[in-house]
Amino acid sequence: MTKDEGRRTISRYCTPRHGGGKLHRMNIHELVRELREPADTKIVLLVADGIGGLPLEPGGKTELETASHHNLDECARDGVCGLSVPVLPGITPGSGPGHLALFGYDPLEYRIGRGILEALGINFAVGPKDVAVRGNFCTLGADGKITDRRAGRPTTERCVELVKKMRTITVPGVEVFVEPVKEHRFVLVFRGDGLGGNVNDTDPQQVGLEPLTAAEVRQQTVPAVPTDRDSAKTAAAANEFIAKAREVLKDDAPANGITLRGFATHPNIVSFKDLYGLKAAAIAVYPMYKGLARLVGMDVLDAGQSLGDQVATLRKVWNDYDFFFLHYKYTDSTGEDGNFPAKVQMIERLDKVIPDIRDLGPDVLIVTGDHSTPSKLRSHSWHPVPTVLTAETCRTDECEEFSERACLRGGLGQFEAKHLMLLAMAHAGRFGKYGA
């Protein structure tokens, strides 16, 4: 991209709109597109999933405060620290909103439906024409009523066999994809023009009832947002698929029926490249995070299976990209397990690769998380997430170590996660001045 292309929208700045009425407040993405400039700089965003924690006892130390991590501490001394608020104070995000915010997409604006997230989680490449749905095998009695909502929990191998049978099903006018997940779970994707996602769940949520019929549901949001997508068409496709599945599975009791839920359309998100002008690579091990990166248009690379593999991949493709999203899962999974010492260990393991990353000479290195996952709570939480950013242009703060407590005194303060990419772009010399 030439400098001129980078500034191609500058004329918008020169034409404030105030003729007929209300002023238009620029949103973050308009601002990014207007200000971005090409540069030969590299940004690394290292997401230590769920890195923020809690002390087990009041006044005690968090996992991060307990761990030994002199390399992260060095980042804190060299750079600027702060605490990232993933969505809003008190709001605990799932992985979807947590990552979208870090990528600079307002998580209250860009929402990823359940079905799409399920599809991303198995690394299914969802596209803009897709409606994705989470499916369950269930047991239907002779009267058509559900006797087991999980079909006796089939093995995953059995799930794969059952899905293979369902792959023979065709529905006129739409393309159908069925993918196994685990045990009684599968993902169903309808692909076609103008398919809507406003369809009710067919799972009645209790046994002794027949599965519900899929139908278009009216949006309950105020104000109602008009849509040019036809959810009735999706509902018809779903009902046809369900009927054919009952036929295909009729001899497979206890897995002789299905229920569907979480109908969701692709969020039609502007790509990372179009937004920031960054050529971005995702180096993640787990499918969900590959899926989220693919959703915003990053190249999803073969990252291997370990942090070492990931850093090796990073080194290998260093010259080919501007932006690198590295995802580290184990700070979250150990937190979810409620295993405080294991989470401490996983933080220490992460710390060891920091010098390898810094040796590559990133212009901006950010270490943060998509949310906190305190072992004490065995789940994601709303607590702000320790964050450190290193770059030549950092203003020194008084953080001498990387911890929840130290980050409270950091120069980034407590900030909304969705603003982090603005800081990354600025420190990477990729933003021009706003206004003259």
Which parts of 374-393 interact with a second copy (CB under 8 A)?
A: 376-377, 379-384, 393
- Residue 357, helix vs strand vs coil: helix
Quote the least distance from Cβ 324 to a second copy, whole Å.
19
| Interacting span for a second copy (CB under 8 A) from 94-102, 235-243, 249-257, 275-283 | 94-102
Out of 14, 40, 127, 143, name the contact with a second copy by CB under 8 A: 14
Q: Please, where are the H alpha helices in 21-130?
A: 28-35, 63-66, 70-78, 95-102, 114-121
Based on the shown chain and the rule CB under 8 A, indicate whether residue 30 belongs to the binding site for a second copy.
yes
Residue type, 275: L
Indicate the residue among 113 and 180 with the shorter CB distance to a second copy. Answer: 113
Out of 68, 170, 213, 227, name the contact with a second copy by CB under 8 A: 227
Q: How far is CA 188 from CA 35, 49, 177, 241, 301, in A?
A: 41, 28, 6, 10, 25
Compute how many other C-beta atoms are within 10 angstroms of the C-beta atom of residue 109. 12
| Interacting span for a second copy (CB under 8 A) from 277-285, 296-304, 329-337, 425-433 | 425-433
CA distance linking residue 415 with residue 402, whole number of Å: 16
Quote the least distance from Cβ 71 to a second copy, whole Å.
16
Based on the shown chain and the rule CB under 8 A, indicate whether residue 106 belongs to the binding site for a second copy.
yes
**Taking a C-beta distance cutoff of 8 angstroms, is the pair 173, 211 a contact?**
no
Out of 41, 62, 71, 202, name the contact with a second copy by CB under 8 A: 62
Out of 38, 56, 111, 342, name the contact with a second copy by CB under 8 A: 111
Based on the shown chain and the rule CB under 8 A, indicate whether residue 13 belongs to the binding site for a second copy.
yes
Quote the least distance from Cβ 308 to a second copy, whole Å.
29
Out of 26, 160, 169, 253, name the contact with a second copy by CB under 8 A: 26
Closest C-alpha among 75, 115, 69, 68 to residue 96: 115
Quote the least distance from Cβ 283 to a second copy, whole Å.
23
Indicate the residue among 255 and 288 with the shorter CB distance to a second copy. Answer: 288
CA distance linking residue 210 with residue 202, whole number of Å: 9
- Residue 331, helix vs strand vs coil: helix
Quote the least distance from Cβ 248 to a second copy, whole Å.
26
What would the two tokens of residue 147 be? 């006797």
Out of 45, 54, 163, 260, name the contact with a second copy by CB under 8 A: 54
Quote the least distance from Cβ 405 to a second copy, whole Å.
6
Q: What number of CA atoms fall less than 13 Å from residue 427's CA on the CB side?
A: 26
Out of 91, 207, 232, 243, name the contact with a second copy by CB under 8 A: 91
| Interacting span for a second copy (CB under 8 A) from 25-33, 279-287, 336-344, 348-356 | 25-33
Based on the shown chain and the rule CB under 8 A, indicate whether residue 265 belongs to the binding site for a second copy.
yes
Of 170-209, binders to a second copy (CB under 8 A) are 196-198, 200-201, 205
Q: Which residues pair with 138 in a beta bridge?
A: 257
Quote the least distance from Cβ 88 to a second copy, whole Å.
6
Q: ∠15-20-22 over CA atoms, to 5°?
A: 80
Based on the shown chain and the rule CB under 8 A, indicate whether residue 110 belongs to the binding site for a second copy.
yes
Q: Please, where are the H alpha helices in 226-295?
A: 231-248, 272-276, 287-295
Quote the distance between the C-alpha of residue 141 and its chain's center: 39
Based on the shown chain and the rule CB under 8 A, indicate whether residue 135 belongs to the binding site for a second copy.
no
Compute how many other C-beta atoms are within 10 angstroms of the C-beta atom of residue 277. 20
Out of 94, 204, 287, 304, name the contact with a second copy by CB under 8 A: 94
Site string for a second copy, 313-352 (x = CB under 8 A): ----------------------------------------
Out of 322, 363, 397, 401, name the contact with a second copy by CB under 8 A: 397
Based on the shown chain and the rule CB under 8 A, indicate whether residue 141 belongs to the binding site for a second copy.
no
254 upstream amide cis, omega within 30 of 0: yes
Number of residues binding to a second copy, judged by CB under 8 A: 117
Indicate the residue among 24 and 70 with the shorter CB distance to a second copy. Answer: 24
What b/e readout covers 221-258, taking b as 16+ CB neighbours within 10 angstroms? eeeeeeeeebbebbbbbbbbbbebbeebbeebebbbbb
Quote the least distance from Cβ 228 to a second copy, whole Å.
5
Residue type, 120: L
**Taking a C-beta distance cutoff of 8 angstroms, is the pair 307, 328 a contact?**
yes
